[in-house]
Chain A
Amino acid sequence: MPTLGRDILWRAIGGQWRHSVRGSVLAAGHQAGEALVPVVIGLVIDEAVSREDPGALIRWIVVLGVVFAVLSVSWRFSARAAERASQQAAHRLRTELTERVLAPRGGAEAGRLPGELVNVATEDARRVGAVNVAFSAGIAALAGLIVGGVALLRVSVPLGLLVLLGTPPLLLLAHLLGKPLERRSHVEQERAAHASGVAADLVAGLRVLKGIGAEAAAVERYRRTSRDSLTATLRAARAQSWHDGGMLMVTGVFLALVALVGGRLAVGGDISVGELVAAVGLAQYLVNPLSVLSWANGEFAQGRASAARIAAVLATPPAVTGGAGGPPGPVQGRIRLREVSHDGLRGLDLDVAPGELLGVVTADPAAADSLLRLLGRSADPASGTVELDGTALTALDPDGVRRAVVVAEHDADLFEGSLHDNVAAAAASPASVETAMAGAAADEVAHALPRGAATVLTEQGRSLSGGQRQRVALARALAAAPPVLVLCDPTTAVDAATEARIASGIRRTRAGRTTIVVATSPALLAATDRVVFMEGGTVAAEGTHADLVRDSPAYRAAVLT
């Protein structure tokens, strides 16, 4: 696995070498053709126009046609090859990044926002892929330089040297002029992005704004941001204009210099008139490949930075290491925690019998979170063991663990697709989808939607209300019908009557299989076989919900107020 940005970058080119080589060769043909056009114009002037030779005119017009045909066809196929290489390399990186993020052992999201990761998988992958285009364009520019340079030197050695030695400092000057501009335009782009970000943010929070009548304040704020952005943009645009104007001036003066030297040589009879025309044309042309080279250099620099970000994601250490395979034989569903200490848990001992419906109550979110992470092996305990049917989870592959133990978190995401697709995503069988829908009262959700269960949920289910989302997510977990199911606060946004129905739905659907419900809702807890009440990271009391309500004031405070 590559860990360095450099490796990623070279692999992006190397992996596409067929396209890259074809693209480069053809692009070189194109540049050579572009370089030859002014040469042929000069030849037409010299051999046909000056000598008034119609035969030469026809001959050179045909040659010009061949040059155009070659440059056109070469560009056509080189651009396609380079784009193909670029797109495929980006696609491959995107897939690889997705695989890394979704790898059962996890870890890639640690410390990174989803938006950041998506940006790496789209923008950075694209940038690295685009290095292929820069690569073949760079090779082609070199070819153009060589052809143009040779043609010029053949016209006249001093003139050729003047142009070939004169253009690099010209570009260096452009580069130096552009440096502060680049920095400034970066700042400006950020400001501009900020303005559009603020607009999108205000629109996203529109209901909230209107709810409290903050429209005028928001309009005022946006106007300020927009004006700030305008000022920054204008400053950058002015800098850009003077940079471009300056370059125009410098190349114009350079061209005058070439005309001066070339004109004197022509007057002296060292070169012909046509050669003078060609030399001027070539001097104009050569600025092109040189600027392509500096552009390619910039693309490589950006590609390197992007490749480093990609490498960083790919090289993130996994959240859990070690363990292989799934649980041996049919899973009974016996869960045993011994002396488990982890964030929020202190020496927790917990036994869940096969087929038991257990409620876990804790007022500490960290403890609940740790319990869920340990049971699904998203994390390994700092100390102590978590066992499934007597096998330590650390001895199993995380994916193997999740074949037996499904943890449905409170904030589980729904995915794009129909409601039915979401519920059936991990379903054990088509039949389990239906029972799960009923058990989670998600059939009522489907009923309220325009196209029933076939309604497409957009933007991670945000077209649904919080309670509807919860019910669909719960149905999905129930439909998976794993030997062990861990649910966390599955009904916090559901009304009381529906919640009571869901509680019995869970009981019915999960009959005979181990289920752990981490919640503080009395309706859910009343439906469990046994409740464990945790305080200070360990078990403080256990019994039925009714017993605990009767006997433990702390429990009453946790679930009934």
Chain B
Amino acid sequence: MSRTEEPQAVERERLAVASPAQVRAAVRALARPHLGTALSGLAVLTVATGAGLLTAPVLGHIIDLVTQGRAADAITFPVVWLIVIAVVQGTLTALGTTLVARLGESMLATLRELFVERVLRLPLGRIERAGSGDLTSRVTGDVSAITNVLRDALPALARSVLTIGLTLVGLAVLDWRFALVALVAVPIQVYTVRWYLGRAVPLYAAQRVAVGDQQQQLLGTVGGAATVRALRLGETHVRLVGSRSQAAVDLALRGIRLMTRFYSRLNLAEYVGLSAVLITGFLLVRSGQVSIGTAGAAALYFHNLFTPINILLGLLDDAQVAAAGLARLAGVAYGERAPKTVTRPAIPPGPPVRLSGLGYAYQPGHPVLHDVNLDLAPGERVALVGTSGAGKTTLGKLLAGVHRPGLGSITIGGTSLPEPGEVAADRMVALVTQEVHVFAGPLADDLRLARPEATEAELCAALDRVGALTWARALPQGLATVVGEHGHRLSPAQAQQLALARLVLADPPVVVLDEATAEAGSAGARLLEAAALAATEGRTALIVAHRLTQAASADRVVVLDRGKVTESGPHEELVRAGAGYAALWEAWSDKRLQPDV
């Protein structure tokens, strides 16, 4: 089977995670093109926040006017000021947050594009060693964690920090002693935040895992509902879903307990700070150093600090999560080495292929292939057969360049495969496996991944060649039908035909087909074999086959047994030879075929 030979016991080599210094460097690199936006955004927001802070002293001035027993009309002028402040603050805040959003979103877009690009260019072998789960969680979970923080938190964060900073300045302008006593709340806040982060980050991480587990369980259970019913596993599965859901609920409740304790502590800080400001106001008014209006303004200033401080401190755990996600994205985008693209002389279709002295081991001491020598004539289609674990898939992957041979060499049309760390600009060998994937979006877009500039007629021709044009035309919107996830669902056989149509469009000189007909039911398999035959026409092809009818239709059959080539020759010749392949063929059909048929 295709993956039994895989190094499942080998430790995963996880993809790179950036160090804090690398993250900082990455952020700098991302921000550099937007420096102007960043600076102007900061400047505009600073002015906006500063303007907003003028409200309190103006209100204080009104209070003073009242205590001084001025005429009612004296109030009008400061009120006009309040209106001017409101208009300036509103306008500049809108402008500033727009600029901050543009900065954050542009950086995020660049980062995710870099990440996806780097991932797509990583060697397959590297990804297989890392496991695709790691990659998927980075591309979904981490990107969305960072997006949420950037979108919701960054503007709030910027405004909160500015408000807090400028309010302290404002307090100091009223009287430096107000600013000083306002700081008595700081030790409580620092202590609270440290206390909280130490607990929140692991707890929320556990919560995300629990929610993910619950999602996974539901997907398995709901997706397999027919199987659950057939085997009467309903009760077990309801219990499983229930316990996963309960685990998520328990963690959510622990989360809210932690959060409420956090804010209770911050309430204490608010109370201590507010009392200190009020007492200071009392003392300063009594000694005649400030007016009642100033004391009132100071109290209002401090009261207005509650919200931004809570916002700021509440965002710290999100920020930590986002920083961790950023390290994982930047690790790949900047830390993983991409192979160098090398240009090679063009190879004519169907070149000769020579595999000589190939040896390969996933784990040292457990070779999967020994000294395999195999020549494929130009345009020859060779079927590779053998029992599970014989090394068929590994041989295919070596030819396709997924793994580098431990021993021996591979040449195609006389040139050797690219060196490690290199990739050819034009792929010489295409690999189609039983793993099918229909890309979400219109069917035509899926096909154009293989040849972006293909015309509608070329797409139809490719579909026609693999016998898929009839059903493709019959789709609700023809080739414009949205397929894949959330779209029209194609059967496994149709998906595999699509893969072969892509192969036709990609038009590589050499093809490796690894059990590309296996996923379909028995009726579909024959259809796919015909399609595979059509798609490999004119190319040099190595076909890993488990259905021997496919082997029979190849130019030559090569039998692999425990990593060694044991037989090689045309189907009839091997059947006549009466060795291993003949026995396989007999198991497949001869026993039931009467001699006269």
Contact = CB atoms under 8 A, between A and B. Distances in A.
A333 to B, nearest CB: 17
A309 to B, nearest CB: 14
A260 B76 contact: yes
A50 B140 CA distance: 60
Contacts of B85: 252
A213 B233 CA distance: 43
A88 B249 contact: yes
A312 interface: no
Given A234-B105, A256-B83, A208 B499 contact: yes
Interface stretch (B24-32, B364-372, B408-416, B522-530): B522-530
Contact of B222 (A88, A118, A378, A409): A118
Contact of B296 (A196, A259, A277, A407): A277
Interface string B558-597: 0000000000000000000000000010011101111001
B225 interface: yes
Contact of B303 (A38, A195, A521): A38
A157 interface: no
Interface in B290-304: 292, 295-296, 299-300, 303-304
Interface size class of A (residues with CB under 8 A): 35 or more
Contact of B271 (A64, A87, A266, A495): A64
Interface size class of B (residues with CB under 8 A): 35 or more
A208 B435 contact: yes
A483 to B, nearest CB: 14
A549 B120 contact: no
Contacts of B217: 416
Contacts of A52: 282, 285-286
A410 interface: yes
A301 interface: no
B139 A199 contact: yes
Interface in B384-403: 386-389, 400
B89 A248 contact: yes
Contacts of A414: 224
Contact of B8 (A115, A449, A498): A449
Nearest to A195: B112
Contacts of B234: 99, 102-104, 399
Contact of A48 (B229, B267, B282): B282
Nearest to B231: A426
B450 A460 contact: no
Interface stretch (B178-186, B348-356, B501-509): B501-509
B135 interface: yes
Nearest to A544: B592
Interface stretch (B167-175, B198-206, B238-246, B467-475): B238-246
Contact of A276 (B63, B87, B249): B63
B220 A450 contact: no
Contacts of B223: 114, 413, 460
B506 A214 contact: yes
A497 B584 contact: yes
A95 B238 contact: yes
Interface string B475-513: 000000000111001000000000100110010100000
B219 interface: yes
Interface of B is mostly: helix
Nearest to B265: A72
A358 to B, nearest CB: 17
A415 B62 contact: no
A265 to B, nearest CB: 9
Given A76-B261, A238-B98, A493 B546 contact: yes
Contact of B101 (A114, A200, A241): A241
Interface stretch (A77-85, A166-174, A341-349, A387-395): A77-85
Given A52-B286, A102-B234, A248-B89, A222 B113 contact: yes
Nearest to B489: A113
Contacts of A98: 218, 221-222, 237-238, 241-242
Given A37-B274, A207-B124, A494-B546, 7 more contacts: A102-B221, A115-B219, A211-B432, A226-B112, A250-B90, A464-B3, A468-B3
Interface string A481-503: 00000000100111111111000
19 contacts: A79-B256, A102-B221, A115-B219, A115-B485, A117-B222, A213-B508, A215-B120, A219-B117, A249-B91, A252-B86, A255-B82, A257-B79, A260-B76, A264-B75, A378-B229, A413-B226, A466-B515, A498-B388, A561-B526
Given A217-B452, A244-B97, A207 B435 contact: yes
Contact of A546 (B86, B92, B388, B592): B592
B271 A65 contact: yes
B180 to A, nearest CB: 19
B253 interface: yes
Contacts of A426: 231-233
A426 B232 CA distance: 7
Interface in B116-149: 116-117, 119-121, 124, 127, 132-133, 135-136, 139-140, 143-144, 147
Contact of A75 (B216, B263, B521): B263
Interface in A233-276: 233-234, 237-238, 240-242, 244-253, 255-257, 259-260, 263-264, 266-268, 273, 276
B242 A202 contact: no
B86 A249 contact: yes
Interface in B46-61: 52, 55, 59
A73 B477 CA distance: 60
B245 A203 contact: no
Contacts of B523: 363, 365, 520
Contact of A241 (B66, B97, B485): B97
Contacts of B62: 259, 263, 276
B519 A402 contact: no
Contact of B90 (A88, A246, A412): A246
Contact of B94 (A41, A77, A218, A244): A244
A175 to B, nearest CB: 18
A477 B522 CA distance: 20
A446 to B, nearest CB: 11
A197 B144 CA distance: 11
A448 B432 CA distance: 24
Contact of A409 (B151, B226, B281, B502): B226
A259 to B, nearest CB: 6
Contact of A252 (B55, B105, B224): B55
B156 to A, nearest CB: 10
A319 to B, nearest CB: 10
A84 B75 CA distance: 50
A114 to B, nearest CB: 4
A526 B93 CA distance: 79
Between B113, B430, B434, the greatest number of chain A beta carbons within 10 A of the residue's beta carbon is seen for: B113
B79 A519 contact: no
